[in-house]
Amino acid sequence: MLTAGLGVGAATALTAASAEIYEAMAERDGLSRVDGPVLAWMIDLRTPWLNHAVTVFTDPGGPLWMTVIAMVCTVALLIWRPSSTPLVLTSIAAPRTIAMSRVGKGIIGRVRPAHEDAVPPYETSPAFPSGHTLSATTLVGLLAYLVLPAVSSRRVRLAVIVAAGCWIVAMGLSRVYLGHHWVTDVAVGWTLGAAWLAFLITTHRVGPALRWPRFLARSKSAGHRRASRA
């Protein structure tokens, strides 16, 4: 049960971190103090070609498009290694990730940075949490988790982990760079997405272990009944 303990502990800690970020945002304290300075620093880094490149990178990272990309990758995994696991996990993860983003935005209703501080096209939905960051953290992290068992090379496994991590970090930073989100929007996208990912992975890894003893118990019970009838 070590896996269950670690997974539940990670999910709980990350959820608590998400709550702390929300409180900092609501009270304009803690991490929220860097929202303005970091955005100002990002504005100073902007150039026309970099704005275009970051926009091209971030556009497909929205919750809906990220779900489509995740499902396409899932189909590829099914073709590569036939198994129901990728389809089941992605089907559970994707819609709930979208729901978490929409519900959070709807309840909190935080205003995004002003249009004069953002790179068009402008976003109109509420800011908190960053849906792009939340979706990337959950779905890219889940895809990496599903790919790892199919790869035997340690170098390739490490490359998959590094690539997924870089994508997740870059997606979050791109949202601040473009002026579409504050740092705290992105930070809670990382922590909340990681919490949901930890829960999914833990459930997947622990679920069979929990069902197996029950199967054994039923098998032994059935054997005892057959023996008593004989």
104-153 confidence digits (pLDDT tens): 999 999 999 999 999 999 998 999 999 999 999 999 999 999 999 888 89
Q: Which residues contact 167 (CB under 8 A, 6 or more apart)?
A: 136, 140
Position 220 pLDDT exceeds 70 = no
Q: Which range has the worst mean pLDDT, 16-25, 76-85, 125-134?
A: 76-85
Q: How far apart (Å, rounded) are the C-alpha atoms in residues 125 and 64?
A: 14
Output the pTM of the full model.
Answer: 0.86
Count of domains forming the chain: 1
**Does residue 113 have a cis bond before it (omega within 30 degrees)?**
no
pLDDT, position 223? 44
User: Across all residues in the chain, what is the average pLDDT?
Assistant: 88
- Identify the three-state secondary structure at position 128: coil
Does residue 208 surpass a pLDDT of 50? yes
Of the pLDDT bands very low, low, confident and very high (cuts 50, 70, 90), residue 60 is: confident
**How high is the pLDDT of residue 115?**
95
**Cα distance between residue 106 and residue 125, in whole Å:** 9
Q: Which residue has the higher pLDDT, 206 or 37?
A: 37
**With contact defined as beta carbons under 8 Å apart, do 135 and 104 qualify?**
no
Q: What would the mean pLDDT of 47-60 be, rounded to a whole number? A: 95
- Domain assignment of residue 130, given as a range: 2-207
Q: What pLDDT sits at residue 151?
A: 87
pLDDT given for residue 80 in this prediction: 83
Please tell me which residue, 215 or 181, carries the higher pLDDT value: 181
**CA gap 131, 11 in Å, rounded:** 19
Answer whether residue 58 is part of any domain: yes
In a domain, 213, yes or no: no
Percent of the chain surpassing pLDDT 70: 89
The answer to the question of residue 67 being in a domain is yes
pLDDT band at 219 (very low <50, low <70, confident <90, very high): very low
Tell me whether residue 220 is in a domain: no
Q: Is residue 218 part of a domain?
A: no
Q: Report the C-alpha gap between 78 and 90 in whole angstroms.
A: 12
Quick check: is 224 in a domain? no
Confirm whether 31 is domain-assigned: yes
- Residue 165 falls within a domain, yes or no? yes
